[in-house]
Amino acid sequence: MTKVLTVCLGNICRSPAAQGILQAKADEKGIELVLDSAGTAAYHVGNPPDTRSIGELSRRGIDISKQRARQFAQADFEEFDWILPMDHSNLNNLMRICPEHLQYKVQLFGGFSADSKIISQYGEEVADPYYGNDKGFVDMADHLELLAESFLQTLSKTESHGR
């Protein structure tokens, strides 16, 4: 089964939301995935997602309250098929420690924009909403929904044609 890891800095705002949204959309489409998320930093290890991420996802019918933050581990490069950082800083931090033969697994989540309008509206990064207001969490979830759709489309294509 395909294993997907979403990654951000703290693993309390963006990557838990991305995990929840991917899970909900995969379930809807009958796609079986193993999903997890992690942070490149250890600040929030063991904590539930930020209440603003939990709240915004809950308004969309998705419960992420049971997730707990963990730090990315070197073994994740072997364990997962796709490792999806939310911004360039996360991407660079992962690439610095990723063995060369596994680097193909690490891809910016924002790069999965089937519709070029997604990039022109949001850019390539899922913006970090942590220090902002509630609107940032609405925008984050809107962006993640579009990227999750695009990623699952890519996945269906690569699964049927090989990677």
Residues recognised as catalytic: 8, 14, 128
CB 82 within 8 A of CB 119: no
d(CA 39, CA 45): 8
Options 5-13, 96-104, 111-119, 147-155: segment touching ligand 4NP (CB under 6 A): 5-13
Task: Tell me how far apart the terminal alpha carbons of the chain are, to the nearest angstrom.
Answer: 14
Tell me: does residue 143 bind ligand 4NP (CB under 6 A). no
d(CA 132, CA 143): 16
Tell me: does residue 130 bind ligand 4NP (CB under 6 A). yes
Minimum Å gap between C-beta 51 and ligand 4NP is 12
Among 25, 56, 61, 21, which Cα is nearest to 37's?
21
Options 8-16, 27-35, 103-111, 154-162: segment touching ligand 4NP (CB under 6 A): 8-16
Query: Which residues sit at the interface with ligand 4NP, rule CB under 6 A?
Result: 8-14, 43, 128, 130
